[in-house]
Structure 1
Amino acid sequence: MNSRHILFLQGPLGPFFRELAALFSHSGYTTHRVVFNGGDQFYAGADHVVAYTNSPDHWADFLLDYLQRHSIESVFLLGDCRFYHRTAKPVCERLGVRFLVFEEGYLRPDTITLEEHGVNAFSQLALSLEDLAGVNTHACSSKAAMGGTMAARTRFAAAYYWAAWFARRRFARYCHHRAFQPVVEGAKWLRGFARKGLYRFQDQKVEQSMRAELSQRFFMVALQVHDDSQMLYHSSYGSVTAFIEEVIHSFASYGPEQTVLVLKHHPMDRGYTHYGRVIRELAERLGISHRVIYCHDLRLPSIYSHCLGVVTVNSTVGPSALLHKIPVKVMGRAIYDIPGLTSQCTLNDFWQYAEPVDIDRFHQFQTLLFDKTQINGSFFTRLDITCANVLTFYEQHFLRRAPVVLLLDEQPVDHLLDEPQVA
């Protein structure tokens, strides 16, 4: 039997794709890896590793040729909105190659996501009310706990960015999806740790008040990472600030007088952004300073039972809140924005007429998502267990049908793309 060929593009910062490729190779697959910068190279590991050093304009043609020459059946990657991955998707679809996207778990903790075609709002999972009605629910719990990941994330990220920096001349034409300076990145991570300590006492006080005098009187707004693909590609907002401004304006006009708005910063964005001044000045101008709170770290499960509702662009805080029967208003595009789960009313109406959560429908949604897209694992800890679970998931879910690989004439494939912006 001929070996199956699979290709890895960019993955999480760290050795996850290296370890996963090693397991696939050990299991009889032929593995390939394309690296785009020194960080990718540092963590590379596959039977065949090739460095792409050409300009972004030629990436689609390179990939087309590579997929055909090596009879690649599946392509693995993290995040479907990065330039190289957005560009790869139509090429894979045209050839009939599986386009398999990893993402952080929809149903955290202890899970990662793997879907074909795309994740989040690009998911092609059947989630209509008719589809959900046929789901037999069961307990959705992961067998192995993954533990904390922050220490590993920090260590892996530092090695990645320094390796990329030292190899920057070789990969001079590489375009990254966010900031790419190791000193700058390191400084922001240090600032994030400092802010965590600085705001700890203040956040504890906020959390205590949410469980006491503010109980059943507050709405929570879950902010997101400023350059996250969820914001950039799955919402109409140009920035997190624009989202904040819309929410506060709406709350000032339509939020019941006795209620309070709590805006929670995203923990992974702590060192990069701070919205304190924007929120304070806007609340003062609208005369609701006494009804607006800005905080950073909260133990969300402990406060959900005290919360009136959650507003988010499309954060994974949404499903967590729904699990606790808390009404959720989605302001962007999200896989879980389904009638009966999230409130379908306007934001202005949400403050007073939030639609209740159909918990039976949520459990159907949770079960379907858990079975079809979730893998027990982590990109940063317990990689042996994670990789074994990924291999099992891949063979159970994606090898039931053989991919159809089409041979195309040698021609540019730029016409397959939507004029991608190189950032």
Structure 2
Amino acid sequence: MNILSLDPMYSPLHQMIMDEAEDGGRFCILSSFGLSVYFSSVHKFYFNKELDAFKSKVSTDLISLISNIPNHYRNLRLKVDNRALNEEELNYFCCFYLYFESFILNEDIDLVLLHNDLRWQHSIAIEICKKYNVKYLVTEQGLFRPYTTIVDDFGVNAFSQVKLDFENKRKFIVSDIGCNIKSTHNSFFSYYKFTKYLLLSKLGKAIGYDSKYVHKRHTISEYVIRFCKQNLFVSKNVSNDKFTRRIVFVPLQLELDTQLLIHSDFNNNEEVIENISSSFFNCDKANDYDLVFKLHPNDTQNYKFDPRVKITKSIIDDSFLDNVDLVISVNSTAVLNVLETKIPVITIGRSIYDVEGVAQYSSIDKLSSNIDSALRNEFSISNRKNYIEYLKKEYSIHGAGYDYPVNEIKKILRKLS
């Protein structure tokens, strides 16, 4: 089996999948020189060094195709910069399309591994894989953090087929949820390797190895701050808020992440806050409840809130949820904690949670009436336990960081059969 990785997770998972698969060629195409730290025995290529050879082959039909492929970079330009991709961006992405297409054909690639499905290069690669019926696996940090990972043979988040698979009773191999995972993506060793990645990426940018366009430029200072928050100052994120009334709770997404830019009709968190607030205060039950928002832990933005709402920094644990009668979310992973309870959940983005008997999707124009219905207990959670068990034991891969049991790697490969 000839396997190609197009940018790995910030872990050796792609290398481990290659090592466990049947013999064949092993390749990686990278957007950054720094990502090479996650591979030990593959042929490495850096696509920024390869694209000039394809400039003369770009056609108007290909430009039209590329301009309509949804991805984080494209939607960031549309929703934040209020513009379409420019000529230089389109030509660069077209050259990548032609390079990647020629690579998988020339090397007879059987399987492509991608981390996330909405970075611009990954969305293009998936388009090509589908065109030539090449199998691919998308990796992403797990739903049940910090010890799980998602590996999907179609897509992740709202692009996943997990809802359909659950409803059709598709059987995955059950994970050994008792396995003792000792590493996470936030471990000291993971941060050590990530620091090497950051330093080598700076070098790669200087010598022309790194992609001209990226979904996000990582900085060392940003991750020093995040590491300190997660490992040294955890207690400072805890708040013992006292609530005098029952709560309608809204955990916000990280500003400008794919849940907002791709999987929702909102442009930013300001629109989410404004629409939920107005819908809540227009409903009949508003006088009986407090509307409480929580910012994503990594969000440093300042937002405008209606003076009647409250902001919390409380951990979303059982004690906090005892105060909550309804949760509204675009597609926050915090919803998973809520699905372990009987609290109704309304999603306002395209989400893996809006399964009948689990959670309910609502458009904004119907949100006010749906809030009323949910608070009057006209809400079914009959399928919730089964769905959580399915996500936890069958859909999730139990492993993270630098610790993936061999049985879990074999489970990943069996997805291909």
Normalising by the smaller structure, the TM-score range is: 0.7 to 0.9
Deviation at 1:37, TM superposition (A): 1.2
AA at the equivalent of 2:340: L
CA distance in 2, matches of 1:135, 1:37: 37
Deviation at 1:129, TM superposition (A): 8.4
Which residue pairs with 1:395 in the alignment? 413
Residue in 2 aligned with 1:177? 215
Cα deviation, residue 390, structure 1: 4.3
| Aligned partner of residue 204 in structure 1, secondary structure | coil
Cα distance in 2 for residues equivalent to 1:35 and 1:349 = 48
**1:45 is aligned to 2:65:** no
* Structure 1 residue 113 corresponds to structure 2 residue 150: yes
The alpha-carbon distance between structure 1 residues 59 and 125, as it changes in their structure 2 partners (threshold 3 A), is same
Distance 1:8 1:332 in 2: 30
Aligned residue type for 2:254: V
| One of 264, 268, 274 as aligned partner of 2:301 | 274
Which residue, 203, 207, 222 being the options, matches 1:166?
Answer: 203
Match of 1:229 in 2: 258
User: Deviation at 1:6?
Assistant: 1.0
Tell me, yes or no, if the aligned pair for 2:114 and 2:139 is still in contact at 8 Å: yes
Does the CA-based 8 Å contact 1:111-1:377 persist in structure 2? yes
Which amino acid is the alignment partner of residue 382 of structure 1?
D
Aligned-partner SS, 1:17: helix
- Are the equivalent residues in 2 in contact too, given 1:127–1:365 (CA < 8 A)? no
Aligned equivalents of 2:11, 2:28: Cα separation in 1: 14
1:325 shift after superposition: 1.8
1:99 and 1:128 map into 2 onto residues whose CA distance is 17
SS of residue matched to 1:218: strand
1:249-295 CA-to-partner distances (Å, cap 9, x unmatched) read: 2223325213112211212x24xx233xx34xx323xxx1xxx2223
1:377 to 395, 399, 403: 399
Match of 1:33, SS state, is strand
| 8 Å CA contact 1:220, 1:310 repeated in 2 | yes
For the 8 Å contact 1:19–1:45, the answer to whether it is kept is: no
Please identify, of 345-354 and 76-85, the stretch whose mean Cα deviation from structure 2 is larger: 345-354
SS of residue in 2 equivalent to 1:190: helix
The equivalent of 2:135 in structure 1 is 98
| Structure 2 SS opposite 1:392 | helix
2:157 and 2:410 mapped to 1: Cα distance?
22
Bigger drift between 241-250 and 298-307 goes to 298-307
332 and 140 in structure 1: CA distance in 2 versus 1, 3 angstrom threshold: farther
5+ unaligned residues in a row in structure 2: which ranges?
Answer: 52-91
- CA contact 1:89–1:117 (8 Å) conserved in 2: no
Could you tell me how far apart the structure 2 residues matched to 1:45 and 1:103 are?
Answer: 21
Which letter maps to 1:341? V
Structure 1 residue 310 displacement after superposition: 1.1
In 2: Cα distance, 1:102 partner to 1:322 partner: 23
Deviation for aligned residue 1:348: 0.9
Contact residue 226 and residue 240 of structure 1 kept, 8 A: yes
| Aligned residues of 2:237 and 2:313 also touching (Cα < 8 A) | no
The equivalent residue for 2:72 is: none
Instruction: Give the C-alpha shift of residue 377 in structure 1.
Output: 0.7
Spell out, residue by residue over 1:211-249, the C-alpha distance to the aligned partner (whole angstroms, 9 max, x if none).
xx45xx012111111132122111111112211121122
Map 1:124-203 to 2 at 5 A: 124-125=161-162, 127=164, 131=168, 141-146=177-182, 149-152=185-188, 153-168=190-205, 169-171=207-209, 173-180=211-218, 182=219, 185-187=220-222, 189-190=224-225, 193=228, 200=235, 203=238
The structural deviation recorded for 1:192 is: 7.8
SS of equivalent to 1:308? strand
Structure 1 position 196, deviation (Å)? 9.7
2:388 equivalent in structure 1: 366
Alignment of 1:191-340 (within 5 A): 193=228, 200=235, 203-206=238-241, 209=242, 213-214=244-245, 217-254=246-283, 255-267=285-297, 269-270=298-299, 273-275=300-302, 278-279=303-304, 282-284=305-307, 288=308, 292-340=309-357
State the AA in 2 paired with 1:259: Y
Q: Within the alignment, does 1:351 sit opposite 2:374 as a pair?
A: no
CA contact (8 A) 1:110 1:376 kept: yes
Query: What is the letter of the counterpart of residue 5 of structure 1?
Result: N
1:8 aligns with: 5
Count of aligned pairs = 366
What is the SS of the residue equivalent to 2:216?
Answer: coil
Classify 1:113/1:188 alpha carbon distance in 2 versus 1 (closer, same or farther; 3 Å): closer
The answer (yes or no) to whether the contact 1:111–1:142 under 8 Å persists in 2 is no
8 Å Cα contact 2:175/2:393 also seen in 1 = no
Please report how far the alpha carbon of residue 148 of structure 1 lies from its aligned counterpart in structure 2 after TM superposition.
5.3
Shift of 1:41: 2.6
TM-score with structure 2 length normalisation? 0.77
1-side partners of 2:399 and 2:121: how far apart?
A: 25
2:104 maps to 1:67: yes
Cα distance in 2 for partners of 1:249, 1:193 equals 37
Q: Distance in 2 between matches of 1:369 and 1:70?
A: 35
Query: What's the offset of the Cα at 1:144?
Result: 2.7
